[in-house]
Amino acid sequence: MNVIARTSNLSPYLKATSAAIPNGLRPVAGSGKVQKSKVVVKSDVERLTSYSLSQALPTGQLRARSGITGIGAMQQIRLGHTDIRVPDFSAYRRKDVQDPTTKSRESAESRLTFSYLFTGAAAIAGAYSAKTVVTQFVTSMAASADVLALAKVEIKLDDIPEGKSMVFKWRGKPLFIRHRKADEIAREQSVAVETLRHQQHDNDRVKRPEWLVVIGICTHLGCVPIANAGEFGGYYCPCHGSHYDASGRIRKGPAPLNLEVPPHEFVENMVVVG
């Protein structure tokens, strides 16, 4: 039938075939046409009435017009709402106030507390570190440890007989060490403190009651007093007549203060001064 109805050389072109399930033996005829995306512009209105249809009809001469748009649709228009960038400070904002819709007053307390605590902590830490730094600089001006070690004297107490006051040299100054007798100790202990010019009890001035360690410089004008002399049986300054008792306290005369007790400590039967 086909042979009669259609010329054999045309018949392949008078029908179209497509394989529903490709089997790989007969190649599927590919069109070779690349699908290109089409510009589709939809009509602005759907015309359904006589009036809108008649508006679409052209009445005058058909013309096409275009303006100059050398570089695309170029316009010298600045759009304030898109062109100008509003400065963004959110990098500087706390998390609580990032959201513009929340009230900042609600988070004010917690933010303030944090600010104060943080500032306070920072201030304390700052003050301590400042103190450390300052002390370091100031102490650098003090004497070093070897110098301080040289500034000590050790005195054997066995060499000093009871009732005797001996003189040593300590840091260029005379140092009196007195081995007191029991009655001297009792006498000085019993002195009423309120009667003294420079009120110090004997116990405050000695570490072992039988040993008195004082610097032998009169507190008046710096003379060296004489031991076992004066009205109170202790020291007497010959320059202006200051009388010290057996505890080195001023009892009479112009000196204002007691004889100075240097820092000292006893190690067994030895005293270390300095």
Partner 1 sequence: MACSAVRAPLLRNTTVRHYAAAAAATQSAPAQNLDIQVLSNKITVATLDNDSPVTQVSVTFKAGPRNETYETQGTSHVLRLAAGLTTNRSSAFGITRNIQQIGGNLTATTDRESIAYTLQCTRDKLDVGLKFLEDVATRQVFKPWELNDQIPRLRYELSSIPETTRVLELLHKAAYRKGLGYSLYSPKQRIGKIGTENLQHFVNTWFTGPRCAVVATGVSQEQLNKFASQLQVGSSESSGEPARYFGGELRKERSSSLATVAVAVEGAGLNKEKEAIAFAILQRAAGTGPHVKWGSTSAPLYRTVATAAGKDPFAVSALNASYSDSGIFGFILTAPGNIAGTLTTAASKWLLKPSVTDADISRGKAELKAAVLYATDNSIARHESLAQQALFKGTVASPSAIIAEIEKVSAADVKNVAAKIGKGKLSMAGIGDLDTVPYVEELK
Report, in Å, the least distance between residue 34 CB and partner 1. 15
Bridge-based pairing state of the strands 165-170 and 153-156: unpaired
Q: Known catalytic residue: 198?
A: no
Q: Please give the Cα distance from 72 to 57 (Å, whole number).
A: 30
Helices within 163-265 (DSSP H only) = 182-189, 202-205
- Asked if residue 263 binds partner 1 (CB under 8 A), the reply is no
Identify residues 180-239 at the interface with partner 1 (CB under 8 A): none
Under 8 Å between Cβ of 216 and 258? no
- Asked if residue 94 binds partner 1 (CB under 8 A), the reply is no
Which of 68, 91, 141, 145 lies at the binding interface for partner 1 (CB under 8 A)? 68
Which of 1, 71, 91, 141 lies at the binding interface for partner 1 (CB under 8 A)? 71
- Identify the sign of the CA torsion 115, 119, 120, 125: positive
Q: What is the dihedral of CA 20, 24, 27, 29, to 10 degrees?
A: 30
Report, in Å, the least distance between residue 65 CB and partner 1. 4
Angle among Cα 222, 227, 228 to the nearest 5 degrees reads 145
| DSSP code of residue 12 | G
Identify residues 74-93 at the interface with partner 1 (CB under 8 A): 74-76
Span interacting with partner 1, options 4-12, 13-21, 63-71, 190-198, rule CB under 8 A: 63-71
Structure tokens at 129: 């570190």
Which x/- pattern, by CB under 8 A, does the window 23-62 give for partner 1?
---------------xxxx-x---xxxxx-xxxxxxx-xx
Annotated catalytic residue, options 81, 198, 220, 240: 240
Which residue ranges make up the site for partner 1 (CB under 8 A)? 38-41, 43, 47-51, 53-59, 61-72, 74-76
Residues annotated as catalytic (active site), given as ranges: 240
